[in-house]
């Protein structure tokens, strides 16, 4: 067996049993482990979904979006405004988050996607900052006071439900959203013609256009899709935490985490954001629980990013797939050592 054989292929037994076991664990997670671990699961699933949403535009399409977190906040405030200011149930706020995010992302996409590289990154970052400042001074968003959302069995669809809206409910809600996001990503970007067009655009836009691909349309479609996914998770998150504030749901750290998770796991891959999302989220939670600090994990993440960029550009998934050979790592270390006179 060669050194480049995928690690996953060395696992004994059929993959089918691993998938069935993992699925069973995810379905029974809150039942087996209780509310505390259900809360951990809610956060992990949300960040996996958000990392995958950024991966659509940043990994598959190759556009470095530094304002993606704005749509998370837009979705949160769309749901919050619908419930608090107009008295609608959550399902209406959920639908409003989708509609508003489609409209705003398309308007933003038209001018910004004419840019590339650092110019696109700066433009999207500026947009996110503008949204945050607007939310802080606008009355309908609660301004600097934020919004407190109602949460009871009758605020879901407008009629009282026979069960409580608690940790278990939100765990399964996030699980369904996460699975839907993964399934959509797999179908559109790995199996559908749309995915091949996106990858062709990323690899060589001129060549893609010469093949008859409408690159402008494809870029807008993938941007809007990725933004809607982020907004959907934002709307559910708003109802879950009950209180939202511009400095929280529109914070730049949200985009930063998405980028880090996708980069560590593997850009432009289906499972990369899952691995990266779990790694970063669990490091943050473990740092908080056992060390009493929510920032202690950041230096470790920085080291992991440097190692990934230098030695495993395809991320953790690239290592697991066997795309990174030991000899390649040794050669990279040797080259760096010679460059900086360390060897």
Give the count of alpha carbons within 13 A of 80, CB side only.
28
pLDDT tens figures, 55-94: 999 999 999 999 999 999 999 999 999 999 999 999 999 9
Residue in 331, 295, 287, 288 with CA at minimum distance from that of residue 310: 331
Query: What are the domain boundaries of the chain?
Result: 32-339
pLDDT tens figures, 125-138: 999 999 999 999 99
- Decide if 305 contacts 264 (C-beta within 8 A): yes
- % the chain with pLDDT above 70: 86
How would DSSP label each residue in 50-81?
HHHHHHIIIIIS----S-THHHHHHHHHHHHH
pLDDT category at 339 given cuts 50, 70, 90 is low
Q: For position 190, what pLDDT does the model report?
A: 93
Q: CA 238 → CA 72, 94, 285, distances in Å?
A: 10, 10, 20
Q: For position 189, what pLDDT does the model report?
A: 95
Q: For position 52, what pLDDT does the model report?
A: 96
pLDDT tens figures, 320-337: 776 666 666 666 666 666
Q: For position 329, what pLDDT does the model report?
A: 63
Residue 23, φ and ψ in degrees, nearest 5: -60, -40
Residue 6, φ and ψ in degrees, nearest 5: -60, 140
Res 107 pLDDT > 60: yes
Tokens for 158, please give them.
């407008």
CATH number of 32-339: 1.10.3470
Tokens for 64, please give them.
């470095």
Which of 171-175, 248-252, 302-306 is the least confident region?
302-306
Q: For position 326, what pLDDT does the model report?
A: 62
Residues near 329 by beta carbon (within 8 Å), at least 6 away in sequence = 311, 312
48 secondary structure, DSSP code? H
Q: For position 8, what pLDDT does the model report?
A: 44
Measured between alpha carbons, how far is 49 from 40 in angstroms, rounded to an integer? 14
Res 241 pLDDT > 60: yes
pLDDT tens figures, 1-42: 443 444 444 444 556 777 788 888 888 888 898 888 899 999
Measured between alpha carbons, how far is 116 from 197 in angstroms, rounded to an integer? 18
Average pLDDT over residues 262-267: 90
pLDDT tens figures, 195-239: 999 999 999 999 999 999 999 999 999 999 999 999 999 999 999
Q: For position 12, what pLDDT does the model report?
A: 46
Average pLDDT over residues 254-275: 91
């Amino acid at each position: 067996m060669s050194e480049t054989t995928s690690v996953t292929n060395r696992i004994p037994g059929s993959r089918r049993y691993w998938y069935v076991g993992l699925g069973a664990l995810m379905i029974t997670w809150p039942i087996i482990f209780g509310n505390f671990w259900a809360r951990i699961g809610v956060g992990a699933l949300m960040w996996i979904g958000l990392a995958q949403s950024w991966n659509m535009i940043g990994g598959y399409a190759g556009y470095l979006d530094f304002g993606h977190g704005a749509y998370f906040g837009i979705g949160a405030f769309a749901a919050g405004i619908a419930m608090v200011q107009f008295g609608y149930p959550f399902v209406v706020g959920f639908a409003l988050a989708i509609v508003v995010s489609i409209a705003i992302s398309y308007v933003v996409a038209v001018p910004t996607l004419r840019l590339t590289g650092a110019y696109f990154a700066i433009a999207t970052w500026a947009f996110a900052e503008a949204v945050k400042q607007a939310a802080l001074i606008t009355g309908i968003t609660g301004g600097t006071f934020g919004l407190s959302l109602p949460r009871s069995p009758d605020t879901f669809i407008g009629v009282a439900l026979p069960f409580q809206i608690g940790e278990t409910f939100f765990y399964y809600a996030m699980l369904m959203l996460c699975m839907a996001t993964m399934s959509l990503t797999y179908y559109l970007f790995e199996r559908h013609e749309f995915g091949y067009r996106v990858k062709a655009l990323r690899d060589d836009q001129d060549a893609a256009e010469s093949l008859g691909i409408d690159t402008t349309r494809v870029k807008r479609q993938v941007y809007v899709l990725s933004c809607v996914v982020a907004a959907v998770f934002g709307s559910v998150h708003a109802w879950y935490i009950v209180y939202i504030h511009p400095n929280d749901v529109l914070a730049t750290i949200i985009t930063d985490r998405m980028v880090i998770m996708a980069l560590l796991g593997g850009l432009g891959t289906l499972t990369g954001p899952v691995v990266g999302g779990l790694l970063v989220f669990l490091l943050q939670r473990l740092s908080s629980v056992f060390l009493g600090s929510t920032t202690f994990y950041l230096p470790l993440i920085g080291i992991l990013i440097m190692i990934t960029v230098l030695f495993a550009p395809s991320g953790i998934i690239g290592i697991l797939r066997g795309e990174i050979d030991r000899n390649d790592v040794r050669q990279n270390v040797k080259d760096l050592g010679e460059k900086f006179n360390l060897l």
